[in-house]
Structure 1
């Protein structure tokens, strides 16, 4: 499970970087901004799930 958690954190980090790079363009279209917002939200959900499960497992011990 630790390996899966690491993979999730890396994937969420890549999603956050992609969201920033999409929205950072000077001539970003509406679809690019929408895509960056969706990547940001999905990456946030993944990170929240990873850290939420970690805290819940530690509390159960």
Structure 2
């Protein structure tokens, strides 16, 4: 399933004023951590839609 930035913001920040770019920043940091754990490619973006976790990297 693909999650939009809006869905992620609503689930994580509970009605706080958050910019969509904040989600991009957090995803970037998460990707770096996943790469360090040999799980690169697990978190992908779907252009114009949002983000998806892949079953296999």
Instruction: Give the number of the structure whose residues are more often helix, by fraction.
Output: 1
Q: TM-score, normalised by structure 2?
A: 0.39
Name the larger-Rg structure. 1
Q: TM-score, normalised by structure 1?
A: 0.38
Instruction: Give the number of the structure whose residues are more often strand, by fraction.
Output: 2
